[in-house]
Structure 1
Amino acid sequence: MDLKDYISSGIIESYVLGLATPDEEKELDQMRRLFPELNTEIQSVEKKVESLAFAEAVMPPAQTRNEIVQRIDWHEGNNNTRNNDNSNYTFINLNPNSQDNITVHKWWRIAFITLVVLSKIFLFFAILYYLKFKQAEENKSSQAAPATTTVQQPVTQP
């Protein structure tokens, strides 16, 4: 394979961007051993990518920088006080404006537990009365069966 064709194939750009497969990386390493010019080409592609990244960079809003600095300062201050204080306090971060968590009021929990307990009670009584009903039907059918079988006595004439 010609070196210029290999360079124009785009494998160097893939390698620099981290998109090359392991096989392509092995192939590029072998080609770098054979052709030292590839090292300079890789360096020039890296410089081009870096210059493009800086040229097209978008500055983040000032608000973002301030928030990050506050977080860093807070964590550093928290670590320093812990080291100086030598106390066994556990810090709990309470963020009332967080939209990530869903909270459930304690009355809903009580209502749910009550609903579960009542459903278990109703299920118990449903099974109990079902069994009593079946037993009553069996008793009724067992009592009705002898009543239907009457023995006829011979009629005697006077």
Structure 2
Amino acid sequence: MELKFYIESGIIESFVLGLATESEVEELEHMRRLYPDLDTEVEIVERRLERAAFDEAAMPPAQTKERVLQKIRWEQAGGYGETSSSYTFINILPKDGSHISVHRWWKIFFIIIFILSKIFLFFAILYYLKYRQVKEQEEARSAIVAVMQVQQEYTTPL
């Protein structure tokens, strides 16, 4: 009766799945030495779990096998070395993170923005210089007018 209770406790399934603790493994090994029927029960549980895994397994896509075989052939050919001329390797591995790739249109957009900013900077400096020149001319005119007024005051008879 003790053996049937031990089998139904689930310790064999835990052992087969690798989830049993060290003490449970030692206990099971001790029980297997005492009861050889446990060896057959362990094999039955292994087959049952294997059958369940195969029955519920999802089939991979058909092209997966060809991809794996291409990768193996490529590695056997020495990687970058002598590969057949009909074989084209396209590296789709992620980059190491030191470079950023940007779409071509974004590059063009940023170049246009850069050029426009330089044009606007040029015109801003040009108009500033013209404004400063006009301001200096106005100051010179007002100074000349002031000097002429002062001269008229001194030259006019009283």
* TM score, norm. by length of structure 2: 0.52
Letter in 2 for 1:15: F
Query: Please, what is the CA RMSD of the aligned residues?
Result: 2.5
Where has structure 1 moved over 6 Å in runs of 4 or more? none
Equivalent residue of 1:78, what SS?
coil
Instruction: Report the Cα offset of residue 65 of structure 1.
Output: 1.7
Query: Given the superposition, is the C-alpha separation of residues 99 and 75 from structure 1 closer, same or farther in structure 2, using an over 3 Å criterion?
Result: closer
Q: Deviations over 1:14-71 (max 9, x none)?
A: 1111111111110000000111110111111111011111111111112222211111
Deviation at 1:94, TM superposition (A): 8.3
Distance 2:78 2:94 in 1: 24
Count of residues in correspondence between the two structures: 93
Q: Find the structure with the greater CA-based Rg.
A: 2
The correspondence of residues 40-55 of structure 1 with structure 2, limited to 5 A, is 40-55=40-55
Q: How does 1:31-42 map to 2 (within 5 A)?
A: 31-42=31-42
Matches within 5 A, 1:48-87: 48-78=48-78
1:98 alignment partner, SS class: coil
Could you list the runs of 5+ residues in structure 2 that have no partner in the other structure?
83-88, 101-158
Alignment TM-score, normalising by the size of structure 1:
0.52
- Which digits, 9 at most, give the CA deviation of each residue in 1:87-111, with x for residues without a partner? xxxxxx983x433422337xxxxxx
Measure, in 1, the Cα distance between the counterparts of 2:63 and 2:48: 31
2:99 aligns with 104
Mapped to 2, the partners of 1:4 and 1:100 lie a distance apart of 57
State the identity as a percent.
48
Q: 1:7 to 1:100 in 2, by over 3 A?
A: farther
Deviations 1:106-130 (A, max 9, x none): xxxxxxxxxxxxxxxxxxxxxxxxx
Amino acid at match of 1:22: E
